[in-house]
Amino acid sequence: VGTEIDWEKGYLVVMQHPVTTEYKQSKNDVTTTLEAIQELNIPTFWFWPNVDAGSDGTSSGIRTFRELKKPTNIRFFKNMEPNDFLRLLKNSQCLIGNSSVGIRECSYLGVPVV
């Protein structure tokens, strides 16, 4: 969902999951990240959160932001084929978020993580 991304000039990948011990803050946390990504105005592939405690708040924050702000630099995904996802990561400028992908896959692929 979202606008088409011009990925050829570089892009970011975002995977932000709720912090299970701070699940009540998940909507505010994701909104802060969304605002920062929109301000950067770098094409971004944003993946939906996992289903841990707080995912309702994170998902609600994404939907609310998407519908109200209509960001032109973000495309949202729920899932992707594994090989396509690895290619997407490998060719990104960096991963932003708190997913274990940042430790496992990105460290192996040499992709920076914020």
pLDDT of 114: 95
Average pLDDT of every residue of the chain: 92
As a whole number of angstroms, the distance between CA 31 and CA 102 comes to 20
Asked if the model's pLDDT at residue 52 lies above 80, the reply is no
As a whole number of angstroms, the distance between CA 102 and CA 15 comes to 9
User: What's the mean pLDDT in 89-108?
Assistant: 96
* pLDDT tens-place string over residues 71-82: 999 999 999 999
* pLDDT tens-place string over residues 15-36: 999 888 887 888 999 999 999 9
What Cα–Cα distance (Å) separates residue 39 from each residue in 2, 13, 36, 44?
16, 15, 5, 12
Residue 46, phi then psi, degrees to nearest 5: -110, 125
pLDDT of 76: 94
- pLDDT band for 70, please (50, 70, 90 cuts): very high
Residue 96, phi then psi, degrees to nearest 5: -115, 130
Supply 18's token pair.
Answer: 């709720």
Domain ranges of the chain: 7-109
As a whole number of angstroms, the distance between CA 111 and CA 90 comes to 6
Asked if the model's pLDDT at residue 54 lies above 80, the reply is no
Supply 29's token pair.
Answer: 């946390």
CB–CB of 33/64 below 8 Å? no
Whether pTM > 0.85 for this model: the answer is yes
Considering only the top CATH level, what class is 7-109?
alpha beta
